Amino acid sequence: MLQRREDQRKPAARIAGAVLLALSAVAAAENAAPISETHYAAARELLATMNVAETLRVTSEMAADTMIRQNPVLAPYRDVILEWQASFLNWETLEASYVNLYAEAFSEQELREMTRFYRTPVGRKSLTKLPELMNKAAAIGESYARDNLPALQMMIEERA
């Protein structure tokens, strides 16, 4: 009987330990050195070099078209979707969040190195080709998923 109670406490103790570990990681992240203005400036410079504002606009149009392709009933509302995206998912709204995201993910030096790369001919080419390649790669994945949907349905039916 005593052994059984101890066995029941072990998972609870493990969970409590995991929670404490996670909380200490969050606290450590919150206590990390604040990001300097020059670090933020490096992130802004990178995003400007990458032309993220324009990429965001083009990506929004592609997302609207994908949404309509997946749900053709939305086709007459394409202009409404684009207007909504322009109002709420625009660069002015998202810039500060993007700058924070990049500043937290990369050191100031890394941001500067990336900026240098994107200013080279190969870097510029990658900026123009990568969104197109990612869109095509997503379409490939979507096609493979669609082609193999019967297998997923069968696997779900077997489990149910």
Amino acid present at 54: E
| pLDDT score of 11 | 57
Please say if the pLDDT value at position 41 is more than 90.
Answer: yes
- Cα angle 72, 77, 78 (rounded to 5 degrees) comes to 85
Check: pTM over 0.85? Answer yes or no.
no
Give the burial string for 83-105 (b: 16+ CB within 10 Å, else e). eebeeeeeeeeebeebbeebbee
Dihedral pair phi/psi, residue 107, rounded to 5°: -70, 165
> pLDDT tens digits, residue range 67-122?
999 999 999 999 999 999 999 989 999 999 999 999 999 999 999 999 999 999 99
Cβ atoms < 10 Å from Cβ of 57:
16
> pLDDT tens digits, residue range 119-143?
999 999 999 898 889 889 989 999 9
Tokens standing for residue 113: 């190195």
Q: Which DSSP string corresponds to the chain?
A: -HHHHHHHHHHHHHHHHHHHHHHHHHHHHHTSPPPPHHHHHHHHHHHHHTTHHHHHHHHHHHHHHHHHHH-GGGGGGHHHHHHHHHHHSSHHHHHHHHHHHHHHHS-HHHHHHHHHHHTSHHHHHHHHHHHHHHHHHHHHHHHHHHHTHHHHHHHHHHH-
> pLDDT tens digits, residue range 4-35?
544 444 655 566 666 666 666 655 555 567 89
| pLDDT score of 94 | 94
Return d(Cα 21, Cα 40) in angstroms, integer. Answer: 30
Return d(Cα 9, Cα 11) in angstroms, integer. Answer: 6
